[in-house]
Structure 1
């Protein structure tokens, strides 16, 4: 048995509901990680399942694991070819203008001794595209649905800050001065659903319920 919730299971794939705040790989300084659960997540198979993609440590929700090398290769190709549908929910530390739109930015990685590394919008960066839609507003904060076409590092987080002009609630890196890391115990981003098409088989299709720290702020995924 495993204490990691399983949202989808067959011979090729697992989709788990990763808890917010749990890193996938063991941190250099030690501590809890999803790696500790891989043996439990074998569920009778001989191999540990392998994450096909990455979501940030703070991000909760759907994470696809491949159960054999062949499926890992096929799923990775689906991500590369942008065939995977991903739906995220995020709580902004404010309310955006408009009700929906498309954010298109070129992103680059920078680093400094003072702030460490982060992504920035830069003309010479890699293209990134996110579709967004306002879901609801509670107490001056907006619940927004994001459907990213590309999968750049920190894409939704930097798109909120640089594209919408409002950071995700609790974001310690991209939050505005005075807002960084405040208002929530984590960056409020949730991987709500994922669909991966498969040739000759039904798609891998999973949805993760809204986490308790979202509902505690008055939001629901209606």
Structure 2
């Protein structure tokens, strides 16, 4: 099924990347909450309700993306399928690929293996146990701009591919920040001066992190379904401006045998 380009219109329907009798895969826009939250009482639009009204049936989220993160999300169309898919996520049977724009020139390839404390807001971080977390990263490209944003006369940024091998909250954002390459637009783990530069000079006021590919075992087909999504327009324009157009992901659907050795598991 062809996808419509991801839209930033607050009232636009969600782009459908794939749909069958069991599930639907959509492209989440940056800034949209997945479901209602006590922390966002003033919000009136949420993915679950929007998709339910768009499809005319109930939908069941089985994983999450942070509010500022855009990209591929899968929803079950029945409680039974939701249970199966949620188990696949819990058991690390999912392969995820993200693209992030970060400050600095990142490493060619590296595994970030930093334990992370859970951030559920129910108790102080110091009381939360540190859980194992691993993310594989790879620098795809970089750019140097003749603009002084920090203390240097020029500013360097990189395009990073990130593949999380575990599912901790804000894992990619926290891992890249700990490694010294904060994601642009990350208000919590990034650097304000670089965030402001992208917002005011490059028309990118958002977190530059996108889930561009998701691969998971289809609960009915007995095969793995892989769905890729294009970037939102603002990130697409930035890639073209930086000369990174060759790295722009496209909408794609592929099926793989269940024994295909592509799933990564947490250590």
For the superposition of Structure 1 and Structure 2, which TM-score range results when normalised by the shorter chain?
0.7 to 0.9
Distance 1:111 1:60, change over 3 A: closer
Quick check: which one's helix share is greater?
2
Match of 1:161 among 164, 177, 186: 177
Match of 1:28 among 41, 56, 71: 41
**More deviation, 14-23/132-141:** 132-141
Distance 1:142 1:204, change over 3 A: same
SS state of the match for residue 187, structure 2? Answer: coil
Alignment of 1:169-208 (within 5 A): 169-176=184-191, 178-179=193-194, 183=198, 184-198=204-218, 200-208=221-229
8 A contact 1:181–1:187 mirrored in 2: no
8 A contact 1:91–1:169 mirrored in 2: yes
- Shift in Å at residue 170 of structure 1? 0.9
Query: Between Structure 1 and Structure 2, whose CA radius of gyration is higher?
Result: 2
8 A contact 2:119–2:169 mirrored in 1: no
8 A contact 1:175–1:181 mirrored in 2: no
SS state of the match for residue 201, structure 1? Answer: coil
SS state of the match for residue 102, structure 1? Answer: strand
Structure 1 counterpart of 2:76: 66
Match of 2:113 among 91, 104, 128: 104
Alignment of 1:108-119 (within 5 A): 108-109=117-118
Match of 1:216 among 237, 248, 257: 237
TM-score (norm. length: structure 1): 0.85
Alignment of 1:80-159 (within 5 A): 80-96=90-106, 98-109=107-118, 124-139=129-144, 140-159=156-175
Structure 1 counterpart of 2:261: none
- Structure 1: 5+ residue runs without aligned partners? none
Query: Counterparts of 1:207 and 1:53 in 2: how far apart (Å)?
Result: 17
- Shift in Å at residue 137 of structure 1? 1.0
Output one character per residue of 1:99-122: Cα deviation in whole Å (capped at 9) or x when no partner. Answer: 01100111114699xxxx9979x9
Quick check: which one's strand share is greater?
1
Query: Counterparts of 1:165 and 1:207 in 2: how far apart (Å)?
Result: 28
CA RMSD of aligned residues (A): 2.6
Query: Counterparts of 1:95 and 1:118 in 2: how far apart (Å)?
Result: 34
1:4 aligned onto 2:14: yes
- Shift in Å at residue 24 of structure 1? 1.1
Output one character per residue of 1:52-87: Cα deviation in whole Å (capped at 9) or x when no partner. Answer: 100011111100101111110110111111110100
